[in-house]
Structure 1
């Protein structure tokens, strides 16, 4: 299939984008700054706090994911078709992007000082070591990366760049992507933010290089999360503490 034959789509904000982005922002702010609101009766229904946390995250991301797919399915289909025109290049970029994240993170840590594990990362590790892969992988590898790439790349760069300089949009995307992972949990210290800044920078670079293709950045993001999950399962729990 000829890439040029795939019709472009207008990068304008739609009402569906408003619903999807609004849902994401409202519930992230609630979970970050007012976690006590929770879901009424959840602690009585699920006494285990880790399992309750998983259920809350799963319900949130299922809803956010459904809204993201509803809002972006035409772009997602088009971008997947574009990637299918060069399958070997696509398959090479995915591990290359993951390696670039690891390398940039290592460099960033050398610059910013000793790494600090974010509270968000500790919570994720707690879920992974406590729950089976069949529960964790759909959430952390399939659904969450799609939602985040839709919000932070497709909307904040692809569509916002229609109204704002694209490099300003890229900077906003990287900073907000990092900030949202520590919001309401800890101070915005550079050593804590660095891994997320590095990850966001690579995903932004891939997205822009690929002609604003958020399905490619989603594939790289999902691969990075899969690697992190598999390594967490592979490393004994006592070494993670």
Structure 2
């Protein structure tokens, strides 16, 4: 019991938090401004374009993920212990959260009058269709959701709310989560942001509702990405516009 510090200490910003956030921001900026040169460099080792793109993203999320795991392992351990005390509730709420996410996203997309898939989604479909599922799952279901929940929920809400009103943190979390998925692609316009605003809104809600349980929001995020992957693999490419 003495291995996990009190909640107050768990939500203090640390040097590892700064390292993880700084690495994420710097690498994201480099990849956004110099995506073509970075991919071209990697293609010298992996001639296949899809493999090169995958390698760049895997290195990005794995490097940030190492710092994130080192910074948040005590919170992760505590949150897993809490979820283990009510396993049936946890298992039931994950699919219900995904349903809520799909409903809210549909409403937002319909309200913006846009049903066109984002460049991020099209790029994901293209990558998934060219690589086997066992290669894609570690990146899009395990690493990606973990890094994003650590940054956008644990840091921007869990830790920042010690200094800023929690509702301000929630809005900031949702907006930053949506923006990072479209910046450098469509631009920060509502039709492009809408799907990610819906997803972000539910992830923020479940994180706060479960008492800032980052592992629960991670499981919801990972399950949603897994569902998307399964649908892409299950639906013939011609029906996806491929």
- Shorter-chain TM-score above 0.5: yes
State the secondary structure of the residue aligned to 1:45. Answer: coil
Distance 1:82 1:34 in 2: 42
For residues 125-165 of structure 1, what are the alpha-carbon distances to aligned partners after superposition, in whole Å with 9 as ceiling and x for unaligned?
11111100110111100110000000000000000001100
Q: After the TM superposition, which segments of 4 or more aligned residues of structure 1 sit over 3 Å from their partners? A: none
Equivalent residues of 1:6, 1:82 under 8 A apart: no
1:32 and 1:211, CA in 2 relative to 1: closer, same or farther beyond 3 A?
A: same
Q: Residue in 2 aligned with 1:61? A: 61
Which has the higher mean CA deviation after the structures are superposed, 220-229 or 27-36? 27-36
C-alpha distance in 1 between matches for 2:203 and 2:24: 20
How far residue 214 of structure 1 moved from its aligned partner, in angstroms, is: 0.7
How big is the shift at 1:6? 9.2
SS for the counterpart of 1:53 is helix
**Structure 1: 5+ residue stretches without partners:** none
Q: How does 1:208-223 map to 2 (within 5 A)?
A: 208-223=208-223
Residues 83 and 90 in structure 2, CA contact (< 8 A), matched pair in contact too? yes
2:150 maps to what in 1?
Answer: 150
Q: Say if 2:39 and 2:52, in contact at 8 Å, map to a contact too.
A: no
Offset, 1:116: 2.2
Alignment gaps of 5+ in structure 2? none
TM-score (norm 2): 0.94
TM-score by length of 1: 0.95
Structure 1 contact 9–75 (Cα < 8 Å) conserved = no
Deviation of 1:7 after TM superposition, in Å, equals: 4.8
Instruction: Give, in angstroms, the shift of residue 62 of structure 1.
Output: 1.1
> How far apart are 1:237 and its partner, in Å?
0.7
CA distance in 2, matches of 1:68, 1:116: 34
Superposition CA RMSD, Å? 1.7
